[in-house]
């Protein structure tokens, strides 16, 4: 237990957190935990069950009867809600549009944070999200706050959409990223903010490999030889 290692990666939307967190975790032999997928899963189920998204208590009660599993499979990490594979579905625009509202309620966050801490109790982890360094894993040995210009982040999402055969408007992508960041930064319950002891890394002109290298370097520095 004492030798467990925690890497916390926070930052705004599409800064590259999950991509680099996944690769770094694999290289380190740690477990990757995508906390955004957990909030997205609850949002998806709330939309499906037509729960009032303005009612934090109703969302907390929904969460209490929702099983969310992050499973490492050969072809990548899969997300299951009550046994159903929702890996792709939770990235659809309707979920992205409402997830910041669902994530804004203290009761929802308290339960999510408790689940996230449990996941990090028995293994070394790379966990990414918005409040990992500030709140979920305040004692993480390595904390990173990834940023990138909103233009670059919109381009990154645009490329992803193109690969899926969709052609979204760049302006709309930029707007939705900026709006989600604003909501995440302005909420009362553990808003998106850099932890005082986190290293800020601007990835605007860095490749995925360069960011991963930096993470591995920080981990090496902190790991007892
Ligand atoms: O990957 P992307 O940047 O689109 O977002 P995500 O990591 O999937 O997170 C989706 C949303 O969940 C964020 O915009 C936040 O509203 C919320 N979230 C949060 O509040 N706290 C976390 N630890 C992770 C995500
Ligand atoms: O998790 P988050 O929303 O912060 O971002 P992501 O989903 O990991 O990354 C968004 C996109 O940016 C992905 O398609 C990555 O391949 C790409 N990316 C990049 O082009 N350069 C980087 N340094 C990091 C990510």
**Where is 223: in which H helix or E strand?**
none
Of the pLDDT bands very low, low, confident and very high (cuts 50, 70, 90), residue 74 is: confident
Q: Would you say residue 1 has pLDDT above 60?
A: no
Q: In this predicted model, what pLDDT tens digit does every residue of 31-43 receive, in sequence order?
A: 999 999 999 999 9
Minimal-distance CA residue to ligand 1 atom 12: 36
Task: Determine the Cα–Cα distance for residues 16 and 190; give it in Å rounded to an integer.
Answer: 21
* pLDDT at residue 223 in the model: 85
Ligand 1: distance of its center to the CA of 225 in Å? 34
ipTM value greater than 0.85: yes
CATH topology for 6-222? Answer: Rossmann fold (3.40.50)
Best of 11, 12, 16 to mutate for ligand 2, by most ligand atoms within 8 A of CB? Answer: 16
Query: CB of 16 within 8 A of CB of 208?
Result: yes
Q: Where are the domains of the chain?
A: 6-222
- Mean pLDDT across the stretch 64-87? 95
Query: CB of 152 within 8 A of CB of 204?
Result: yes
Q: Is 156 in the pocket of ligand 2 (CB under 6 A)?
A: yes
Q: How many residues does the chain have?
A: 225
Q: Would you say residue 225 has pLDDT above 80?
A: no
Rounded mean pLDDT of the chain?
96
């Amino acid at each position: 237990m004492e030798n467990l290692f925690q890497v916390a990666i926070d930052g705004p939307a599409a800064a590259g957190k999950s991509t680099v967190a996944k690769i770094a975790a694999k290289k380190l032999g740690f477990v990757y935990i995508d906390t955004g997928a957990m909030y997205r899963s609850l949002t998806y189920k709330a939309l499906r069950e037509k729960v009032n998204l303005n009612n934090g208590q109703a969302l907390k009660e929904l969460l209490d009867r929702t099983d969310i599993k992050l499973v490492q499979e050969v072809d990548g990490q899969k997300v299951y809600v009550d046994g159903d594979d929702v890996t792709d579905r939770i990235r659809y625009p309707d979920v992205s549009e409402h997830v910041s509202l669902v994530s804004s309620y203290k009761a929802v966050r308290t339960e999510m944070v408790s689940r996230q801490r449990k996941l990090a109790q028995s293994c070394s982890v790379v966990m990414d999200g918005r409040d990992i360094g500030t709140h979920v894993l305040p004692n993480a040995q390595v904390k990173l706050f990834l940023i990138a210009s909103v233009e670059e982040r919109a381009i990154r999402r645009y490329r992803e959409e193109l690969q899926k055969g969709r052609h979204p408007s760049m302006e709309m992508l930029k707007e939705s990223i900026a709006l989600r960041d604003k909501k995440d930064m302005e909420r009362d319950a553990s808003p998106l903010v850099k932890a005082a002891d986190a290293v800020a890394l601007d990835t605007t002109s860095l490749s995925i490999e360069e960011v991963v290298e930096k993470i591995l370097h920080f981990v090496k520095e902190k790991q007892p030889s």
